[in-house]
Amino acid sequence: MSSGYLILENGKIFNGTLVGNEHDVIGEVVFNTSMTGYQEILTDPSYAGQILTFCYPMIGNYGMNLLDNESTKPQLKGVVLGDICEKPSHFLSKKTFAEQLEETGVAGITGVDTRELVKVIRKEGTIKGMITNCIPPRHELEQLWKNQAACWVSQVSTNEIITYHQAGPHVVLIDYGYKKSILDALLKENCKVTVVPYDFTFEQIKALNPDGILLSNGPGDPMMLNSHFYDIKKMVEQFPTLGICLGHQLIALSFGAKTEKLTYGHRGGNHPVKDIQSGKVYMTSQNHGYVVVKDTIDKDVFEITFQNVNDDSVEGLKHLSHPIQTVQFHPEAHPGPSDTEYIFRNFILHLEKVGDMKYAIT
């Protein structure tokens, strides 16, 4: 391992040691506060285009296994660590965290004062950064910072239709960068699941004759997909729908609401969310940088179902006349608490009620 740097867009530089694939990368620097679940976090497609800072001081303690990946490979640009464990201890461990980075082409830097880095992000907001083994001239960096806009969803979504045959309700999972745990949750409910690309049209979805649709999580600014809002609105008005994370934002936008970027996002496994109807507070897993603006939601169309306890941001919506529900958090919660796993069961109940289906829920 060789010496390296994390260079921020504001000019601040953090020294460290390069790990994984030692090549230069540029991305949006964000942080996750989870204490466990680094494998699931590393392989979450919602981090595409980003350099992820792990707040927990040591990463890699229990190694990497063959069970907990949320996608076939990491989609993020790089990782920033305080310390890395080179000798993990767990009976399922097959490789170290550093070996996983190397094999999948992910750049990393360890030995960084992550507490100071997180303070910078919390104060100044999410910022672009570069992991490198040398410090380029400032004029080169300024040009690099300008060339980072991209539609990351198009880079992480599937290019083909994939069907998982089971006896229960047929759910079309629109892949904006879905986590495997979402698919697993549907299969656990005995659903037949058809995974389709993010740019499927209403007519293509209709031709699959689903009982319901699920709009998945995914990376980036939801407004990058504004050309799809018309089709999304037609889909969700036609079929019982569940939207998760980015899916939640896309549904709100398709009905005329607006989104805005948070200063430093919600990323972690301990975000408190209040159920407006019951008053109960759930602990949730979250990973997003944008939120739906409360004042732009048409109250004659949607009711707000969940609200973030920390900042009062919108965490869930329910359509007043169609079987459409959305949540900003991750009810499948890998990693994180399973408090809101019941949302998947409620979704299946919607399919039965609205579609007058005969499937039995075991």
Residues at the binding site for L-glutamine are 46, 218, 220, 246, 249, 287, 289-290
46 close to 245: Cβ distance less than 8 angstroms: yes
Nearest to 306, CA basis, from 253, 351, 342? 342
Pairing of strands 13-20, 3-8: antiparallel
Query: How does DSSP classify residue 295?
Result: G
The dihedral sign for the CA sequence 166, 172, 177, 178: negative
The dihedral sign for the CA sequence 233, 177, 288, 141: negative
**Amino acid found at 178:** Y
The dihedral sign for the CA sequence 330, 262, 237, 325: positive
Round to whole Å and give the CA distance between 80 and 109.
5
HSE of 269, CA atoms in CB hemisphere, 13 A: 18
CA distances from 41 to 25, 76, 77, 267 (A): 19, 10, 13, 10
Round to whole Å and give the CA distance between 361 and 93.
35
Nearest to 94, CA basis, from 74, 69, 121? 69
Catalytic residues: 245, 330, 332
Query: How does DSSP classify residue 95?
Result: B
What's the count of helices (H) and strands (E) in the chain, helices before strands? 10, 19
Round to whole Å and give the CA distance between 5 and 130.
8
Distance of CA 180 to the CA centre of its chain: 11
- Rounded to a whole number of angstroms, the distance between the first and last alpha carbons of the chain is 52
104 close to 73: Cβ distance less than 8 angstroms: yes
